């Protein structure tokens, strides 16, 4: 007997639309159990997906997908969408190499209308689809599903503003669970959340419930219209001023109300805004009680929950940053730590608790975070911006115009640099060395281990100009951290292993497989430490004393550290044969980090083989 008798019958949304409406509730129960079973086996985003199950069912039940277009913001809430659109049997491969992506992906399914991974893009994308369909004379509906956390980003409001002005046939669904990855912050979030918690509304509700309890039949009717009363009490002016017809808030776990509401909305034209209220982790008590901890999970036993027993033998680089931040705060006063909604991911939980007056979470607003930091820096306070490599891309204009152009001493602690693994190409940190290296006034560092990361953070903090330390999403090698903070000499590398004929110039943690290769080839190995400024004296020494030069970096080769070395060598007049190793000119798919490093030939065997093939080719090209 199958464990999922209803779910197993659904191979496409058309199967769902042929289902009796009375079966939608038991289907939602099966779907919730199926997601818990699979995500606990593969890892992935759990709490947010449990909160959007009823919404996904209702959308595919009412709208004729894929002709009608659903755009899921970020994708943290799209697992049920994937399952209902023919990918149920592939869920055991979720986020694994060669398997299902963790986010909607256009070449994975026609139901994935837009590739996502970064927040707040859904409204603009769905608006574009709506306008394109209008031009082509098509009547397809376009729906953007966005979380309240993503509504803290300016891009979402740019989309809303344009949609209302264009009077487009667009539905925006605000899935309000009062959470993004961390707790939501900011005036917009407070505006939304205080409505349901406000004294006026709750006083009215409590008084009415007390009076109506004496008349049970009337009370039952009153509960039915309660959500509509909320809509009358709620100051929906903000969204209506954008030109939207505001509807809600309604219970996002009430399938009957969702289906009825969406049925009516589908008949309407012009910009529609539906506000639903859901609970992150709905139906799984452990996730309901700890939605942050169960946002992104590794493999676990669903009966026991996530284990709190974490090894302390080796620190992740994220933990190194968190430790440094707390240690530094004991002696330093004039600084602020800033993050765009990445408190947990950037290792700032303990710091935020210990130094709340120094911690600023600005929400999902990377552009604002950087310009905010620049403003802080103009007044003699040192801003420390903790941000993922993939999210720093979103504030690139601010990085150039507001920070570097004014040569302001903003420090960037760049996490998730290089290959990130299961999150895939939307989150890979393969571009920061390239996009930072071309910016004047920048200082860029990459540590080889935990201790060097710790010292580089201190060096960056003490550097009176824009400065970045980039480190990977991984555990260190177990290096002992020397808590006496040392300022490293800017632009100076070091020779780790002396050799002859071949010189390997390594940037960052790939020095460890490179060291094994250097020993096997009797090559010289240099820890370059700085990408900008480069150690030109060390480069001169290596080119002058070695026949072959190899650069290694966990970044795209194009415009990266190796390219900068070649430029210096050319300026110095050297013509030595140089091999640049790094990430090729392509996007790297999702999978575990060791597999992806092997795929990129950046593991020990890949590096060794690449060097050997390079030298053999050069020897064969030498004319007798």
DSSP one-letter string for 381-398 = -EEEEEEEHHHHGGGHHH
| Annotated catalytic residue 87 | no
Spatial neighbors of 591 by CB under 8 A, at least 6 apart, are 96, 97, 98, 421, 422, 424, 599
Two structure tokens written together for 582: 């790094």
> Cβ atoms within 10 A of the Cβ of 106, count?
12
Catalytic residue among 82, 87, 280, 416: 280
332 secondary structure, DSSP code: -
Find out whether 399 and 420 touch, Cβ atoms under 8 Å.
no
Q: Are strands 530-532 and 359-361 parallel, antiparallel or unpaired?
A: unpaired
Catalytic residue among 30, 257, 366, 452: 366
3-state secondary structure 559-584: CCHHHHHHHHHHHHCCCCEEEEEEEC
| Annotated catalytic residue 343 | no
Cα 227 from Cα 343, distance rounded (Å)? 34
Cα 504 from Cα 551, distance rounded (Å)? 6
Q: How many CA atoms lie within 13 A of 169 on its CB side?
A: 20
DSSP one-letter string for 104-139 = --TTT-TT--S---STT-HHHHHHHHHHHHHHTT--
| Annotated catalytic residue 17 | no
Q: Which helix (H) or strand (E) holds 598?
A: helix 593-599
Closest-CA residue to 521 (of 616, 604, 608, 613): 608
Catalytic residue among 82, 88, 323, 394: 394
Q: Would you mind telling me the total number of residues written for the chain in this entry? A: 624
Q: Give Cα separations from 378 to 403, 463, 464 (angstroms).
A: 10, 15, 12
Q: Give Cα separations from 63 to 59, 147, 409 (angstroms).
A: 6, 20, 52
Spatial neighbors of 490 by CB under 8 A, at least 6 apart, are 443, 459, 463, 530, 533
Find out whether 258 and 252 touch, Cβ atoms under 8 Å.
yes
The set of catalytic residues is: 280, 366, 394
């Amino acid at each position: 007997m199958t464990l999922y008798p209803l779910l197993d019958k659904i191979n496409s949304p058309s199967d769902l639309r042929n289902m009796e409406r009375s079966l939608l509730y038991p289907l939602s129960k099966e779907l919730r159990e199926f997601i818990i079973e699979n995500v606990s086996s593969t890892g992935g985003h759990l709490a947010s997906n449990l909160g959007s199950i009823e919404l996904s069912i209702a959308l595919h039940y009412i709208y004729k997908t894929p002709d009608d277009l659903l755009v899921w913001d970020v994708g943290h809430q799209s697992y049920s969408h994937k399952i209902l659109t023919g990918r149920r049997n592939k869920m055991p491969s979720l986020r694994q190499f060669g398997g299902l992506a963790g986010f909607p992906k256009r070449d994975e399914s026609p139901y994935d209308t837009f590739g996502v991974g970064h927040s707040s893009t859904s409204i603009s994308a769905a608006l574009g689809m709506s306008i394109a369909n209008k031009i082509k004379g098509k009547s397809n509906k376009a729906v953007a599903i966005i979380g309240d956390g993503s509504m803290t980003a300016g891009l979402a409001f740019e989309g809303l503003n344009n949609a209302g002005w264009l009077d487009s046939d667009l539905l925006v669904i605000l899935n309000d669970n009062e959470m993004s990855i961390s707790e939501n912050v900011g005036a917009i979030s407070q505006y939304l959340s205080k409505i349901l918690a406000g004294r006026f509304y709750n006083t009215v509700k409590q008084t009415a419930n007390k009076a109506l309890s004496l008349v049970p039949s009337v009370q039952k009717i009153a509960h039915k219209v309660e959500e509509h009363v909320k809509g009358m009490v709620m100051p929906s002016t903000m969204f209506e001023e954008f030109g939207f017809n505001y509807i809600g808030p309604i219970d996002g776990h009430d399938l009957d109300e969702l289906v009825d509401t969406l049925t009516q909305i589908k008949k309407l034209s012009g910009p529609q805004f539906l506000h639903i209220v859901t609970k992150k982790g709905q139906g799984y008590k452990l996730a309901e009680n700890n939605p942050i901890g169960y946002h992104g999970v590794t493999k676990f036993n669903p009966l026991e929950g996530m284990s709190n027993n974490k090894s302390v033998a080796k620190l992740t680089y994220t933990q190194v940053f968190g430790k440094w931040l707390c240690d530094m705060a004991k002696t330093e006063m004039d600084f602020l730590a800033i993050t765009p909604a990445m408190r947990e991911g950037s290792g700032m939980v303990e710091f935020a608790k210990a130094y709340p007056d120094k911690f600023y979470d600005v929400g999902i607003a990377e552009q604002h975070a950087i310009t905010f930091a620049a403003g802080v820096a103009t007044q003699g306070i040192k801003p420390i911006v903790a941000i993922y490599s993939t999210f720093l891309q979103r504030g690139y204009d601010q990085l150039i115009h507001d920070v570097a152009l004014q040569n302001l001493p903003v420090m960037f602690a760049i996490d998730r640099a290089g290959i990130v693994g299961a999150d895939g190409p939307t989150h890979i940190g393969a571009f920061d060395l390239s996009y930072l290296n071309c910016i004047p006034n920048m200082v860029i560092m990459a540590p080889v281990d935990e201790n060097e990361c710790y010292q580089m953070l201190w060096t960056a903090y003490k550097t009176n100009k824009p400065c970045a330390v980039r480190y990977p999403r991984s555990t260190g090698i177990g290096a002992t951290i020397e808590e006496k903070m040392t300022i490293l000499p800017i632009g100076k590398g070091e020779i780790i292993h002396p050799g002859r004929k071949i010189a390997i110039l390594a940037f960052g943690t790939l020095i460890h497989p490179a060291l094994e290769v250097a020993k096997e080839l009797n090559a010289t190995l240099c820890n370059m430490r700085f990408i900008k400024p480069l150690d030109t004296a060390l480069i001169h020494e290596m080119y002058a004393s070695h026949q072959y030069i190899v650069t290694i970096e966990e970044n795209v080769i194009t415009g990266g550290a190796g390219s900068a070395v070649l430029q210096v060598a050319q300026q110095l007049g050297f013509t030595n044969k140089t091999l640049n190793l790094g990430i090729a000119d392509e996007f790297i798919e999702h999978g575990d980090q060791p597999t992806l490093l092997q795929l990129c030939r950046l593991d020990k065997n890949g590096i060794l083989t690449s060097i050997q093939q390079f030298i053999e080719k050069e020897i064969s090209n030498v004319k007798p």
